[in-house]
Structure 1
């Protein structure tokens, strides 16, 4: 059974996720594990699920912190499922398909790597894609003999009203509930990364019990627990004040930045979630190499602009960057757009 620590907060997290993930039944607080940040959750989960040298499949480009987190405790490897910018028939850029997952899994087996799980981010970072229920079910069916870790860090950061986010916890029939694990935290959706809060929800009590042991090293302060509980239980404020303001500000910032990108004829993925835009700056590279990509990255730094290079997201194509637009209007306007 999970630790008694954080019991009150775990109950509130279970209620919160039940409501905002639209789960078919109430989530059990005993299946909630709380640690000091989602990176801590991911690192601990890698150690619980894998032996050293085993691997996770991860579609790329993807959050660069995974590479550090998986290696930190358990020396778990990442097998990239490379997605391509070139659009196939009836497809879209950087589309994840079961075929690509199967190719990556086969390649890993040929190389002698033991794959234990699949890591998915939904909404995706850095692409901004939101997986449909149909697509998610296809990925879960593919991975029915693997553990699936679904990072839903940006689930409340979908600002396009035409797009509906579906949590994997909302799905009534999972291929293997005991191997499906969901990570969420407040650092992105509530912009409070300093609170160092990360939560895992898993139907697997053995995994939850093992994960709870990491609370000895990765607990969060009692003050932070109290404040987080107050935040998560105030749905009236969240629904009527915070989320409308948050989404409006993201819409305005996204509209401003994408308008500038269109004016400069810079290709980008036009999505409606997250805090960032995935942009193509290949035209500004002298040659299409990661060395040139790094030089361009440093030129931006020289002008006090931080654009994360594609290589940090394990992108196989040089020239792609993540531009974070979640900033106050005067800061966006202060950028040099010429």
Structure 2
């Protein structure tokens, strides 16, 4: 993986070196269970999914494909808006309502972002659900960016992830674009490699024009190609062990939350647990939620509060459980101390005085 050819030190094809796009197409064909081999010419590789989102937004929201227009938006519809039979469940009805609200505000929605598996819920949507979302987008002539960056991090053996690329036919293939990257499933966020697969040739060409701002270094592309083609090691060593560690850490954290009588969503994908700490708020307000978050932060425990995810119910927090066991125990011991000795006696607003 450390080999460096002279060609790796030159400017590459801004969509990614052809050898890497070929390996990406083979990799996604295999792990996404595509009914037909995916085509390398439909792959674009950039330095991380953040760059891909930026380039896709600039391309899809502007007729010229270069500068984003002020009156066009990509719509990330929050599913954290109400309780249903399945808490925070995303439905076509919610998508319809969100689109109507956006239009009332004068926004011209051009695209929809769907995350599967979901962050922060850990939800894994079924093929039927995803098809219904894609049908909704087709009806309203919306592009869909499907972010599947946690697709290999489904750690419960009873749950199965179905990629959009596994469908026999997409409702609107020219407006459906699938993203994946190595930062989550491979724990390689520092490598900055993300990829998108799209059958829309105009989109691929437009992304190629923006690639000069988001290129991946040649040696890194070579390393990624070597990793993606090592299917034997991935299947026999890395993925089974990674999922085992995810299950172990998730089981430990959820058992501790049960001991603390903290409600949470029990899901089987990703790195997060969506937990309800609202009973520790003196008032059910986002100001109190922010105070609780600051108290955790003051004592070096980093959680993400629901406000960061547009949750309308104060008190929900995202807990990252993917860390070493001794760090999880330390974080929980600090949290448990404040839960037992402080939170039940004083409000979070008073903690800083203690």
Indicate the residue corresponding to 2:234 in structure 1: 238
State the shift of 1:173 in Å. 1.4
Equivalent of residue 322 in structure 1, options 318, 321, 336: 318
Q: Where does residue 92 of structure 1 map in the other structure?
A: 86
Runs of 4+ more than 6 Å apart: none
Map of 2:144 onto structure 1: 148
Contact 2:77 2:98 in 1 (8 A): no
Matches within 5 A, 1:194-205: 194-205=190-201
Aligned to 2:262: 266
Conservation of the 8 A alpha-carbon contact between 1:34 and 1:212: no
In the TM superposition, residue 58 of structure 1 has moved relative to its aligned partner by 1.9
Residue 209 (str. 1) matches residue 205 (str. 2): yes
Q: CA deviation at 1:56?
A: 2.5
Deviation at 1:5, TM superposition (A): 4.2
In the other structure, the counterpart of 2:189 is 193
Question: Alignment length, in residue pairs?
Answer: 313
SS of the counterpart of 2:261? Answer: coil
The equivalent residue for 1:56 is: 74
Query: Deviation per CA, 1:66-87, whole angstroms, max 9, x where unpaired?
Result: xxxxxxxxxxxxxxxx531x23
Kept in 2: contact 1:50–1:116 (CA 8 A): yes
1:1-16 map, 5 Å: 3=14, 5-16=16-27
1:57 Cα deviation (Å)? 2.6
Deviations 1:142-193 (A, max 9, x none): 1101101100000000000000000001111111000000110000000000
Q: What is aligned with 1:275? A: 271
Q: Distance in 2 between matches of 1:31 and 1:140?
A: 20
Provide closer, same or farther for how the CA distance between residues 168 and 5 of structure 1 changes in structure 2, counting only shifts above 3 A.
closer
The corresponding residue for 1:83 is 81
Match of 1:224 in 2: 220
Matching residue within 88, 91, 103 for 1:109: 103
1:36 positional shift: 0.3
Question: Are residues 1:118 and 2:85 paired?
Answer: no
Q: 2:36 aligns to what? A: 25
SS at match of 1:291: helix
TM-score by length of 2: 0.86
C-alpha contact (below 8 Å) 1:3/1:209 kept by paired residues: no
Do residues 137 (structure 1) and 135 (structure 2) align?
no
Q: In structure 1, what is the equivalent of residue 352 of structure 2?
A: none
Distance (whole Å) between structure 2 residues aligned to residue 139 and residue 192 of structure 1? 30
Structure 2 counterpart SS, 1:135: helix
Displacement of 1:110:
2.0
Separation in 2, partners of 1:101, 1:23: 27
**Residue 3 of structure 1, CA deviation:** 4.8
Q: Secondary structure at the match of 1:251?
A: helix
CA distance in 2, matches of 1:326, 1:334: 14
- Separation in structure 2 between the aligned mates of residue 299 and residue 315 of structure 1, nearest angstrom: 20
Q: Which runs of 5+ in 1 are unaligned?
A: 62-81
- Equivalent of 2:292, from 287, 296, 316? 296
- Cα distance in 2 for partners of 1:59, 1:107 equals 11
2:35 aligned with 1:39: no
| 2: CA distance, partners of 1:22 / 1:83 | 32
Q: Which residue number in structure 1 is paired with residue 9 of structure 2?
A: none
**Mapped partners of 1:4, 1:324: distance in 2:** 33
Separation of aligned partners in 2, 1:6 and 1:320: 43
- Cα deviation digits, residues 254-284 of structure 1 (max 9, x gap): 0000000000010100000001100111111
